[in-house]
Structure 1
Amino acid sequence: MLQLIGLWESVQDFIHTGGDVLYLVALVLFVMWVLMIERYWYLKAIFPKVKQEIIAKWEARQDTTSWYAHKIRDAWISEASDKLEQRMLLIKMLVALLPLVGLLGTVTGMIAVFDIMATQGTGNPRTLATGISMATIPTMAGLVSAISGVFFSARLDTKVKREKAALTDSLPHH
Structure 2
Amino acid sequence: MMLFLMDIWDSVRGFMASGGDVLWLVAAVLFLMWVLMLERYWYLNWISPKQHQAIIAAWDAREDSTSWYAHRIREAWMSQAKQDLNARMLIIKTLVAICPMIGLLGTVTGMIQVFDVMAVHGTSNARMMAAGISMATMPTMAGMVAALSGVFFSTRLDAKMKISLERLKDSLPHH
Give 1:79's aligned residue. 80
CA distance in 1, matches of 2:4, 2:105: 32
Aligned counterparts of 1:130 and 1:24: Cα–Cα separation in 2: 19
Give TM-score scaled by structure 2 length: 0.98
Runs of 4+ in 1 over 2 A off after TM superposition: none
CA distance in 1, matches of 2:77, 2:153: 28
Matching residue's letter, 2:92: I
Count of matched residue pairs:
174
Q: Secondary structure at the match of 2:123?
A: coil
Q: Distance in 2 between matches of 1:159 and 1:30?
A: 22
Equivalent position of 2:40 in the other structure = 39
Q: Which runs of 5+ in 2 are unaligned?
A: none
Deviations 1:56-78 (A, max 9, x none): 00000111110000000000000
Tell me the TM-score normalised to structure 1 length: 0.99
Query: Which residue does 2:160 correspond to in 1?
Result: 159
User: RMSD of the TM alignment (CA)?
Assistant: 0.6
Aligned-pair CA distance for 1:36: 0.4
Match of 2:173, SS state, is coil
Aligned to 1:112: 113
Q: Amino acid of the residue matched to residue 103 of structure 1?
A: L
Residues 1-43 of structure 1 show CA distances to partners (whole Å, capped at 9, x for unaligned) of: 0011111111111111110101100000000000000000001
Shift of 1:148: 0.7
CA distance in 2, matches of 1:130, 1:31: 28
Query: Structure 1, unaligned stretches of length 5 or more?
Result: none
2:128 maps to 127
Percent identical residues: 65
Amino acid at match of 1:123: S
What is the Cα deviation at residue 112 of structure 1?
0.5
